[in-house]
Amino acid sequence: MDKYSAAINVLFLSAMALQSWHFVEHSVKLEQHIVQSCASCLGILGNYFDPVVLHLVYNIAVFAPFLTAFVLIQRPDAVEKELSEPVTGPKKDFVEEQDDLL
């Protein structure tokens, strides 16, 4: 098992939990819009915090763990190994085929 696996799992699960709460918040706002006909409904936590800032915090709180997990998945040792392999140019047949198209 990879040394980053546990951290990646925790990050993905926490991001999914936060996104689930974000979805519930949007569902409540939609229900408020349909039932109460409000143009800009506050939702659950919007009654206590500025809704625009709250939504920004939700998005950052969901994005940050996903980004961190992605960085851990693409960890430097894996990238270094990939970069150390020799890079070859396009195959000759492909180049000739492209010249024929022109």
What is the distance between the alpha carbons of residues 76 and 55, in angstroms, rounded to a whole number?
33
| Domain of residue 39, residue span | 5-101
Question: How do residues 38-75 score in pLDDT, each as one tens digit?
Answer: 888 888 998 899 989 999 999 999 999 999 988 888 87
**Into how many domains does the chain fold?**
1
pLDDT score of 1: 47
Q: Which residue has the higher pLDDT, 34 or 82?
A: 34
Question: pTM value?
Answer: 0.65
The DSSP H or E segment spanning 57 is helix 51-73
Q: Sign of the C-alpha dihedral, residues 13, 17, 23, 26? A: negative
pLDDT-derived band at 89 (thresholds 50, 70, 90) equals low
Mean pLDDT of the chain: 82
pLDDT score of 3: 73
